[in-house]
Amino acid sequence: MFSQQNAVGLAVWAPAKVNLFLEVYGKRGDGYHEIATLIVAITLYDVLEFKEDSSGTIRLRCDNRSLSTGPDNLVYQAAELLREKLKIRQGVAITVRKRIPMAAGLAGGSTDAAATLFGLNRLWNLKLHRDELMELGTRIGSDVPFFLAAPAAWCTGRGEKVQPFRLGTPLWIVLVCPAVGLSTADVYRHVQVAATPRTGVEICRAAQEGNVEEIGKWLHNRLEPGAYALCPALADIRGRLEAMAPAGQMMSGSGTSHFALCRSRSEAFQIARALRHGSDKRICPNVLPVRSCLDLATE
């Protein structure tokens, strides 16, 4: 998360994420599943602009007309939560410029909510500590605290328990974002919990060492089979990525986006060009080479 202030207001860049590892355990009493996941922020951003508003209300606009700008929007909920908690009377006008595909497993809604907590903390000079913002984030969504923590993290619980993680090397990734989206709840309803779940020890070690080949070897997402059952065309995308022979390939989160883990920047751009040339644009309109974020304070 990084920002730029000017005389008018504040702009915040909100990154997308991919999951290098996602294991699902038993269902909790609150209806969520217990998970363990290694999450990495990537250089694909929504941009949120915040301006003081004399109306004393929250005014939200978005350049994607398919996205609600009412109280069900996570950005609106994050702003309202801050106002209620701290008895704030100031209004704010928020404009969201969407670049992260929706319903794609990239946490576009969660990162925008985190950017709102981060941005309004600065705009309104609230001086809340990061841990306080993260606690508020848990009330909005499971992925929100991650974006307030670090460029990479090992997350447990329902995803809200965040342990910052340092990658041994920047990672180059090619995102493939299908035109179709999936409901996270639907994908979780189709998950089959393994009798012997994976621990993630191997991929964490490889990621800390910066061994891209080993990271690719240990990529894992327990939600993939359920997503493929709901949308069989997604398995074809994974097959196309596998045919390009990157270090590894996988679906991110609950889908539908997939990614190829590449060995270098040049390989990422080579694979992206090949996919753009050979893919059906009606199925895969977005093919994006990106990198893992180095530092969300200065990226």
Provide the pLDDT for residue 3. Answer: 78
The pTM for the full model equals 0.94
Is the preceding peptide bond at 256 cis, omega within 30 degrees of 0? yes
H or E segment and range at residue 111: helix 108-123
Select the CATH number that applies to the domain covering 172-291 from these four: 3.40.50.800, 3.40.800.10, 2.40.160.10, 3.30.70.890: 3.30.70.890
Q: What is the residue extent of each domain of the chain? A: 2-18+42-148, 172-291
Q: How many CB atoms lie within 10 A of CB 4?
A: 11
Q: How far is CA 32 from CA 101, 139, 189, in A?
A: 24, 14, 10
Catalytic member of 17, 85, 127, 131 = 17
User: Chain-centre distance of CA 277, in angstroms?
Assistant: 27
pLDDT at 276: 87
Q: Which amino acid is at 27?
A: K
CA angle 79, 81, 82 (to 5 degrees): 70
Coil/strand/helix, residue 160: coil
Residue 17: active-site member: yes
Residues of the chain predicted below pLDDT 50: 298-299
- Options 46, 72, 112, 143, the catalytic residue: 143
Residue type for position 109: G
Distance CA 255, CA 18 (A): 10
Q: Tell me: the pLDDT tens digits for 227-251?
A: 999 999 899 999 999 999 999 999 9
Q: Any idea which fold 2-18+42-148 has?
A: Ribosomal Protein S5; domain 2 (3.30.230)
Which pLDDT does position 5 carry in this prediction?
83
Say which amino acid occupies 212.
V
> Is 63 one of the annotated active-site residues of the chain?
no
Res 284: pLDDT: 63
pLDDT digits (tens, 9 = 90+) for 254-294: 999 999 999 999 999 999 999 988 655 555 668 999 999 98
pLDDT score of 8: 73
CA distance 57 to 72: 16
* In contact, 16 and 45? CB cutoff 8 Å: yes
pLDDT at 179: 85
Amino acid 25: pLDDT: 95
pLDDT at residue number 285: 66
